[in-house]
Amino acid sequence: MNQIKKLLIIGFVWPEPKSSAAGGRMMQLISIFKQNGFDITFASPALDSDFMVDLASYGVEKKTIELNNASFDSFITELNPDVVLFDRFMIEEQFGWRVSEQCPKAIRLLDTEDLHCLRTARQKAFKENRTFTLQDLLSEEVAKREIASILRCDLSFIISEFEMKVLNDLFKIDASLLHYLPFLVDEMTEDHLLELPRFEERNNFVFIGNFLHEPNWNTVQYLKETIWPLLKKQFSEAVLQVYGAYPSQKVLQLHQPKNGFFIMGRAEDANEIVKQARVVLAPIRFGAGLKGKLLEAMQCGTPSVTTTIGAEAMHADLPWNGFITDDSTEFAKQAASLYQDEKLWLQSQKNGIAIVNECYQKNNYASELISVVTSLLNDAENHRLNNFMGSLLQHHTLKSTKYMAKWIEAKNKN
């Protein structure tokens, strides 16, 4: 790119790469745009947190903004970005109309993180004890909001190939509005394994996940109530360490050292903890997107046992780095055998490296991403002409959202 382009990222929260996969994903995106010469400002209405990344150390300007406040209009007009990236559809709903009004030429990108409507509908079906079907999405309120947001943007980043298929087949979203972008990590070699702790140097089962995320809390409940008693029968010395940011009191109450079940709280360095563990357990029963904890396990050379939802869209047609099962008895049995059988463990570890290199190679996706964004910058007008539904939604939603925001703004002044 000849001249420096300005990118404004509007974050739902400040990035916390050590607390969640979403935080790690955001830092991956920042890294790619930065390496390709973009001047980046990261703005968010969220409160600062003790665990947020120091954006300045990455050469990114930090800006706190307010919801339902015209001060954002002045800020973005002065900044005049070439590209605006919305972090999740809720942020596009809040700020998209202001961006469109103040900087109509700016390219509008949406990072969906995962399809919220898919996660919500699966969670609902699970709680109601019924089988989830894709048709459930059509009556989901969140789906209407999320799909409208995708249509209003010039391009949306979709993290899962399964979700790409849902958007194409069920919601009939044009392929030109979607860009497949999984987690992006460096290549691993077999030599990398030599730097990791060996089978006999590792101990314990581990689960790791941010407890603000409902699927993680549900997973830990399931581990404690169902999986763990079965696993202890198979392997009486088993110890499970559960790590995660923001554990609530109900999470902490599951701590039961006598039974080998330890609630450890926030991990100072998740990578180190997963590297020292022998097996990752992730019996996830609902959710969407890709599971950062399972990719991290592969990078740490740690085999895992998970469910079909956990492994969804994560490994192409390659063998998993451990086992995939939805049956609790089978889950416990396979976890015990993976923990105790070194040959099986080593093969699973190698499977993980193959998946990382085949499915998440940063070099395979970074240049394509920049190429697509550059193409949009050069031909935004034609791209938008071909997205009539997006223009229609932009027109109507802009008006309704705008006047609701103006009403809240006026109310706040009184």
What's the pLDDT tens digit per position in 93-117?
999 999 999 999 999 999 999 999 9
Q: How large a percentage of the chain has pLDDT more than 70?
A: 96
The yes-or-no verdict on residue 403 having pLDDT over 70 is no
Give mean pLDDT, residues 52-76: 96
| Fold match between domain 6-184+362-413 and domain 190-359 | yes
pLDDT in tens, 333-368: 999 999 999 999 999 999 999 999 999 999 999 999
Angle formed at CA 96 by CA 92 and CA 99, multiple of 5 degrees = 140
Beta bridge partners of 263: 242
| 190-359 CATH, one of 3.30.420.40, 3.30.830.10, 3.40.50.800, 3.40.50.2000 | 3.40.50.2000
pLDDT in tens, 39-63: 999 999 999 999 999 999 999 999 9
Give residue 194's pLDDT.
86
Range of weakest confidence among 118-132, 219-233, 392-406 = 392-406
pTM assigned to the model: 0.93
Give mean pLDDT, residues 391-400: 67
Q: Where are the domains of the chain?
A: 6-184+362-413, 190-359
CA separation for the pair 269, 186 (Å, rounded): 19
- DSSP E strands in 210-315: the ranges are 240-243, 261-265, 279-282, 304-306
SS3 assignment, position 13: coil
Q: How large a percentage of the chain has pLDDT more than 90?
A: 86
For residues 372-403, b (16+ Cβ closer than 10 Å) or e, as one string?
bbeebbeebeebbeebeebeebbeebbeebee
Give residue 1's pLDDT.
44
Residue 195: pLDDT band by 50, 70, 90 thresholds? very high
Give residue 397's pLDDT.
58
pLDDT in tens, 288-314: 999 999 999 999 999 999 999 999 999
Residue 2: pLDDT band by 50, 70, 90 thresholds? low
Which CATH architecture group holds 6-184+362-413?
3-Layer(aba) Sandwich (3.40)
